[in-house]
Amino acid sequence: MSRVTTKGQVTIPKEVREALGIRPGDEVSFDETEEGYVIRKEAPTTEAGEDPFEKYRGTAGDGSMSERMRRLRGEYPRGENDSDGEEP
Q: What is the pLDDT of residue 67?
A: 78
| pLDDT tens-digit readout, 23-55 | 888 888 889 999 999 988 877 666 666 666 666
Query: Is the model's pLDDT at 2 over the cut of 70?
Result: yes
Q: What is the pLDDT of residue 34?
A: 95
Contact between residue 45 and residue 52 where contact means Cβ atoms under 8 Å apart:
yes
Which residues lie below 8 Å from residue 57, measured CB to CB, with a gap of 6+? Answer: none
Whole-angstrom Cα Rg for the chain: 24
How far is residue 68's CA from residue 88's CA, in Å, rounded to a whole number? 22
| pLDDT tens-digit readout, 9-20 | 999 999 988 988
Query: Is the model's pLDDT at 7 over the cut of 90?
Result: yes
Q: What is the pLDDT of residue 32?
A: 93
- Main-chain phi, psi angles of 31, to 5 degrees: -105, 130
Contact between residue 32 and residue 24 where contact means Cβ atoms under 8 Å apart:
no
